[in-house]
Amino acid sequence: MNKPRFTILQQEILRYLFMKSGMTFNARSLAKPLKVSPTAISKSLKGLEGEGLIIVTKDRESKRLSIELDKNNPKVFMLKRVENLRFIYDSGIVEYLSDNFPEATIVLFGSYSFGEDTITSDIDIAIIGSKERGVNLAKFDKIFERQISIYFCKNLDEVNKNLRENIVSGIVLKGGIQL
């Protein structure tokens, strides 16, 4: 049987850095939300740094670590994309939207679908095949700690070319897209 590549703590560190993409942390500021010691964080960083997933630098004067995702590594975006999709399904938003728009196709698109989002990015979701109507996403805005933007269209033919290409290159969460 294959041994997991990352420890549970390393996975939690990555998950947190993915959620807070674009921010820099020190060991203490990572340890607090993950409910572990700064020493445990420091010990776990070596493997992630060795894989090229994070950049760790040390301040000369304070000796504090500075920890951030290595956005020059394409593997970071691949793993972040997988984590984003897992988070979408785990949050319950797909079921919520499916219940509210049972006949519609639901597509995750934009930077979040590619794993290129930052903490300030919104999450773009297209609802295809349904009339626009209000839906309360406040619960999910809070879970994701960012705004969720919903785009409604009856079919993709009525959408401008750039938006259509962006939607088609997204991830279908429910239903299917006919080209």
Confidence of residue 1 (pLDDT cuts 50, 70, 90): low
Confidence of residue 96 (pLDDT cuts 50, 70, 90): very high
Q: For 26-81, what is each residue's pLDDT tens digit?
A: 999 999 999 999 999 999 999 999 999 999 998 878 788 899 999 999 999 999 99
DSSP three-state, residue 10? helix
- Supply the CATH classification number for the domain 76-174: 3.30.460
Q: Say which CATH class 8-72 falls into.
A: mainly alpha
Please state the rounded mean pLDDT for residues 170-174.
98
Instruction: Give the start-to-end residue ranges of the domains of the chain.
Output: 8-72, 76-174
d(C-alpha 69, C-alpha 55), whole Å: 6
| Positive/negative CA dihedral, 151, 156, 161, 166 | positive
Helices (H), 3-156: 8-19, 27-34, 38-50, 74-91, 93-100, 111-114, 138-144
What's the whole-model pTM score?
A: 0.90
Average pLDDT, the chain: 94
Q: For 132-158, what is each residue's pLDDT tens digit?
A: 888 999 999 999 999 999 999 999 988
At 59 the pLDDT is: 80
Same fold, 8-72 and 76-174: no
